[in-house]
Chain A
Amino acid sequence: MSPLRDILRRGDPAIWFAGTGLGISILMISGMIGLILWNGLGFFWPSDLEEFTLKDGTIVMGEVVTREAIPAPGTPDHLKRFRLQVKAGNRDVSGADFRWINEDEIAARQIPRDAVYVERREYGPFIGRPVKLVDGDREIAAGVDVIAALPPLVDKAHDDRKAIRTIERDDIGAVNYRIEQLRLEQRALDLDAVRRPGVDQTGARAAIEQQLSALQTEYEALEQKRATAVEAASRARITLKTASGEEKDLPVLDVFRFFAPNQLGAWGRTQVYLGRVWEFLSGDPRESNTEGGIFPAIFGTVMMVMLMTVVAVPFGVLAALYLREYARQGVLVRIVRIAVNNLAGVPSIVFGVFGLGFFVYFVGGAIDQTFYPERLPTPTFGTGGILWAALTLGLLTVPVVIVASEEALAAVPRSMREASLATGATKFQTILRVVLPAAAPGILTGLILAMARGAGEVAPLMITGVVKLAPDLPLDGYFPFLHLERKFMHLGFHIYDVGFQSPNVEAAKPMVYATAVLLLAIVVLLNLTAIIVRNRLRKKYQTSAFS
């Protein structure tokens, strides 16, 4: 037999082919993950601030972001010369965050030790040199000394901001909430007057008026308190100078982070890095979602996935149980099974449209008419919200759960069921005590698949309740604590919004990577948890004959 024939018979080419395919897949996946990780995690690292003096005299200072070859098709220079993209900040002064500098134009390049990077409330970062630090009229430090003198004041500013936010959110927020409730009561009275004319409402209305004016006074007092706090906190001000000489005056209250990167060693930079990562994970967004943190999006994503799982899994498991155990295995059951399998393949946007039409308009509208008539025409449940989004995604994932659960139930060996039944158990007891626990690993697989699918879908969410910026979280301290009618933020949508709808594309790019890293991490974490639980269950319920 020729050697070629031997190889073909053994199937070596097929094995090589499969191996190559696997290798390429692994390369692609690890390449993609590596790219996302590198760009996403590298975003937070504070690099050197370089100062470029160009041949025409302009001075530019900032972080070097990328270096690329300049395309000049047709000329001999094509891709031979290079240019740098520099993040220079100072959008309010110079008009653009990012600047391109051709390497040929650079006359001098240095790393000044007194260059500072200031993260502030608006207009993006400020990159420049400190001039002076004042408190009211008194000058505290000037020039390079500002770098050492500022950090304690930045910490104080952080506390001040928190205190002011407490007054705004908690105190003023509570008053606003009560005023809102009273106005709704007034509206309810109005509607009542139409339904039952002739009933004397003057007493009720007078009481409401009284409470309203009391609240109004309280509001004004709190507002005053807030204004005073802001004023007191704004007495410390810092003056900064750009590389090209323009000066900018900022209240320290607006400063979020301040450091001189060129003076920091590895440890100092790591501290800045960790601080930034923490702010990313726990803070609120600023500057049209291109800065600050994405905590509301994290919260919204996780809460929606939880709600969706709570909706989809019990339904799915019960449906699978009925289909497999109780329904008579005839033509109808087969049709139902085929329908369920097909439902798993329907594009998610179709579910979104269904969710919009049925849940939002029909059910939500009905709820509004019945329970919240005084708020109309502003919809409460008749508009997108986290509940409708979770239900829509739940619908999307129920087929996955049903299919996986049915497989799991069918895999429970007959001998186990017979053992239970022969001891005098009813079918229900057998299912509850023997079949379901034994099928639990497979059902959990279904849950994992469902969660993974649901966490990744964005299209149906966009029309059933996700927004670019949500003022509140769906969970807060006000009754009923879980506000299912509120709109929410979502990491997947955030990536789309920041990446493609953002006014400042360059600033947004690294944010997109960072958010993608986070979304990957959350999905992996959710899956890992479910997998660990499933493996534990598998070990427990492994039968002696087969697992």
Chain B
Amino acid sequence: MTMTETPTRAADTVRRTTAGVTFAKPPAETAGEAAIRIRDANLWYGRNQALYDITMDIPARQATAFIGPSGCGKSTLLRCLNRMNDLIDNVRVTGEFLVNGQNIYAPSTDVIEVRRRIGMVFQKSNPLPKSIYENVVYGLRIAGIRDKATLDEACERSLRGAALWDEVKDRLDESGLSLSGGQQQRLCIARAIAIEPEIVLMDEPCSALDPIATLKVEELIYELKSKYTIVIVTHNLQQAARVSDKTAFFWLGKLVEHSNTAELFTNPREKHTEDYITGRFG
């Protein structure tokens, strides 16, 4: 459905909403390489259906944003991607989630392997009650890596990658809980990238952070894009516009629109999308 009434006013509102934002430019299409292909995904919490026939491709080494009003299923879909919904009772998932051609919901799939290749950063930062060093190398330790040199190198690499190294390099033995909120979230990002996953999922990573910390994390995401595929769920439309290459808009469990960010924000195809990003609901 195309925009019908007062296109100028709608466009104005969109421009106002996204004023001062430099849109991310998706890199030259890497031959349409998709990190994740979702085909006809449906999800039920008990008797309530939460996702309806989701079909989409998430491109590799780009950032894809999931936006939509509360309860639209974006977090649910995100958690499907690394099988974290398995932890909830009464969840039933159908459809295919293909990562590198393999369906991660196939019965023969090793969940641990899936979670190693697809990392996650949560809404409320959750550092483990261990030292900073132990937090970062946690993923490596549980994978069986014990060599100190390897762990040290991975720790430094990840903390640099998370833009946290300079701030904590002298106090790696201190508890991870002694950091500020923004630092904790970057620690969680460091922990996620330490095991060198292919895909990093982020569930509203900045919602509990102040603007400056948010900015730092956004810059981080911008840099991580070149190495990892990022999928980020966010309520913050400006953030989605700033950071992501592609945006998917969800509404009541359905995928409404999925296109390049700049396009979706300046020239949305669907009316629901336009209503949402102009603030008419949600």
| B268: Cβ under 8 A from any A Cβ | no
| Chain A hits for B139, CB < 8 A | 423-425
Q: Which of A233-276 contact B (CB under 8 A)?
A: none
Q: Closest approach, in angstroms, between the C-beta of A415 and any C-beta of chain B?
A: 4
Closest to B176 in A: A544
| B128: Cβ under 8 A from any A Cβ | yes
Q: Which of A410-428 contact B (CB under 8 A)?
A: 413, 415-426
Also in contact, A423 and B87, with CB within 8 A (given A541-B129, A542-B129, A544-B184): no
| B116: Cβ under 8 A from any A Cβ | yes
Q: Closest approach, in angstroms, between the C-beta of B178 and any C-beta of chain A?
A: 9
| B106: Cβ under 8 A from any A Cβ | no
Contact (Cβ within 8 A) A419 B142: no
Q: Closest approach, in angstroms, between the C-beta of A369 and any C-beta of chain B?
A: 48
| Chain A hits for B175, CB < 8 A | 540
| Chain B hits for A109, CB < 8 A | none
Contact (Cβ within 8 A) B126 A423: no
| B215: Cβ under 8 A from any A Cβ | no
Interface residues contributed by chain A, number (CB under 8 Å): 24
Interface residues contributed by chain B, number (CB under 8 Å): 26
CB < 8 Å: which of A423, A544, A545 contacts B115?
A: A423
| B225: Cβ under 8 A from any A Cβ | no
Contact (Cβ within 8 A) A418 B87: yes
Closest to A544 in B: B177
Closest to B129 in A: A541
CB < 8 Å: which of A415, A426, A429, A437 contacts B124?
A: A415
Contact (Cβ within 8 A) A542 B126: no
Proximity string of chain B (132-169) to chain A, C-beta cutoff 8 Å, 1 when within and 0 when not: 00000011001100000000000000000000000000
Proximity string of chain B (40-83) to chain A, C-beta cutoff 8 Å, 1 when within and 0 when not: 00000000000000000000000000000000000000000010
Contact (Cβ within 8 A) A415 B122: yes
| A434: Cβ under 8 A from any B Cβ | yes
Closest to B120 in A: A422
Proximity string of chain B (107-118) to chain A, C-beta cutoff 8 Å, 1 when within and 0 when not: 000001101100
Bound-state CA distance A437–B134 (Å) is: 14
Contact (Cβ within 8 A) A540 B122: no
Bound-state CA distance A426–B113 (Å) is: 10
- Give the segment of B92-100, B188-196, B228-236 that binds chain A: B188-196
Q: Which of A29-87 contact B (CB under 8 A)?
A: none
Contact (Cβ within 8 A) B122 A424: no
Contact (Cβ within 8 A) B177 A543: yes
> Chain A at the B interface: mostly helix, strand, loop or mixed?
helix
Bound-state CA distance A413–B177 (Å) is: 14
Max chain B C-beta neighbours (<10 A), residue from A422, A426, A540: A422
CB < 8 Å: which of A413, A425, A543, A544 contacts B142?
A: A425
Proximity string of chain A (524-547) to chain B, C-beta cutoff 8 Å, 1 when within and 0 when not: 000000000000000011111100
Bound-state CA distance A415–B192 (Å) is: 15
| Chain B hits for A433, CB < 8 A | 138, 142
Closest to B191 in A: A423
| B253: Cβ under 8 A from any A Cβ | no
| Chain B hits for A422, CB < 8 A | 82, 84, 115, 119-120, 122, 192
| A518: Cβ under 8 A from any B Cβ | no
Bound-state CA distance A422–B126 (Å) is: 11
Q: Closest approach, in angstroms, between the C-beta of A373 and any C-beta of chain B?
A: 50
| Chain A hits for B205, CB < 8 A | none
| B127: Cβ under 8 A from any A Cβ | yes
Contact (Cβ within 8 A) A437 B119: no
Bound-state CA distance A416–B135 (Å) is: 12
CB < 8 Å: which of A419, A434, A437 contacts B188?
A: A419
Contact (Cβ within 8 A) A543 B115: no
B positions within 8 Å CB-CB of A: 82, 84, 87, 112-113, 115-116, 119-120, 122, 124, 126-129, 138-139, 142-143, 175, 177, 184, 188, 191-192, 195
A positions within 8 Å CB-CB of B: 413, 415-426, 429, 433-434, 437-438, 540-545
The 6 closest A-B pairs by CB, nearest first: A424-B116, A415-B126, A422-B120, A423-B139, A419-B126, A541-B129
15 A-B pairs within 8 Å (CB atoms) are namely A417-B87, A418-B122, A421-B87, A422-B84, A422-B120, A423-B115, A423-B119, A423-B191, A424-B115, A424-B143, A437-B129, A540-B129, A542-B129, A544-B127, A544-B177
